[in-house]
């Protein structure tokens, strides 16, 4: 068991060092890099589609898509107007820096304002791996239930903003927003939570405003 733990520690340490170097490279370009994490089906790709269509005239954006198999999500964001590179992990439960660095070769980074990294869908493995991002955007959907902060505290600790998605489902679920918010606050008191629905458009303006502030902060 000790050897296994030592190996895991070495893997994480090596990834963290590579992430620090990648972060310096992104900073040189003044490129905002966002690591999107969530359980499967929380709406990461749908959010990117809406973001692409609304902010295309303001920012130059691109996407790295992480999935076990298929390039369906990359195809979706391309149809929405964003350049995208698909990473298929072949069973791996997360992205790491070497995967991201290889994917960067398929993107034109000059003049890019925002790079979205859509991580593999789960709230366990991705939370352990720094990708050189400026911020972690964590999506949690109403359809999943209100207990996710308590079940996956590491992911919420890593997050810089939480998007509570699919709020149009609130009337037909037992999701308790106050309980969810209280559990988030216990883990990270100043962590902002933005409720939204891509289906109705409610709350999307708050997400777009958050993005604009993040881009401005990176450029200054």
CA 21 to chain centre: 20
pTM of the model: 0.94
For residue 85, pLDDT beyond 70 = yes
pLDDT at 6: 60
Task: Kindly tell me if the per-residue pLDDT of 3 is higher than 60.
Answer: no
Q: Tell whether the model's pLDDT for residue 126 goes beyond 70.
A: yes
pLDDT at 36 over 60: yes
Query: What share of residues in the chain are helix, strand, coil (percent, to 5)?
Result: 50, 20, 35
pLDDT above 90: percentage of residues in the chain? 92
- Which pLDDT belongs to residue 5? 55
Give the model's pLDDT for residue 91: 85
Written out in words, the top-level CATH class of the domain with range 2-219 is alpha beta
Question: Which of 115, 121, 107 lies closest to 23, judged by CA?
Answer: 115
Could you tell me the pLDDT band of residue 146, with boundaries at 50, 70 and 90?
very high
pLDDT of residue 199: 97
Rounded CA-CA distance 27/33 in Å is 9
User: 108: alpha, beta or left, given left = phi > 0 and alpha = psi -120 to 50?
Assistant: beta
List b or e across 4-16, with b for residues whose CB sees 16 or more CB atoms inside 10 angstroms.
eeeeeeeeeeebe
Residue 66's nearest CA partner among 108, 25, 109, 99 is 99
- In the chain, where the domains are located: 2-219
Half-sphere exposure of 3 (CA within 13 A, CB side): 0
User: Is the pLDDT assigned to residue 2 strictly greater than 60?
Assistant: no
């Amino acid at each position: 068991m000790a050897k296994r733990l030592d190996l895991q520690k070495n893997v994480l340490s090596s990834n963290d060092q590579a992430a620090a170097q990648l972060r310096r490279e992104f900073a040189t370009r003044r490129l905002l890099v966002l690591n999107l994490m969530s359980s499967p089906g929380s709406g990461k790709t749908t959010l990117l589609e809406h973001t692409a269509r609304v902010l295309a005239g303001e920012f130059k954006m691109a996407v790295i898509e992480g999935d076990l198999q298929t390039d369906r999500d990359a195809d979706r964001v391309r149809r929405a107007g964003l350049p995208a590179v698909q990473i298929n992990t072949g069973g791996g439960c997360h992205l790491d820096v070497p995967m991201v660095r290889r994917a960067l070769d398929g993107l034109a980074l000059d003049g890019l304002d925002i790079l979205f990294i859509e991580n593999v869908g789960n709230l366990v493995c991705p939370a352990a791996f720094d990708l050189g991002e400026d911020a972690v955007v964590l999506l949690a959907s109403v359809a999943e239930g209100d207990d996710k902060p308590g079940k996956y505290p590491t992911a919420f600790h890593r997050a810089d903003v939480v998007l509570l998605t699919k709020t149009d489902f609130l009337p037909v679920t037992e999701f308790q927003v106050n309980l969810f918010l209280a559990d988030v606050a216990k883990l990270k008191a100043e962590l902002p939570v933005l409720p939204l629905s891509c289906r109705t458009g409610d709350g999307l303006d708050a997400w777009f405003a958050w993005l604009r502030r993040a881009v401005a902060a990176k450029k200054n």
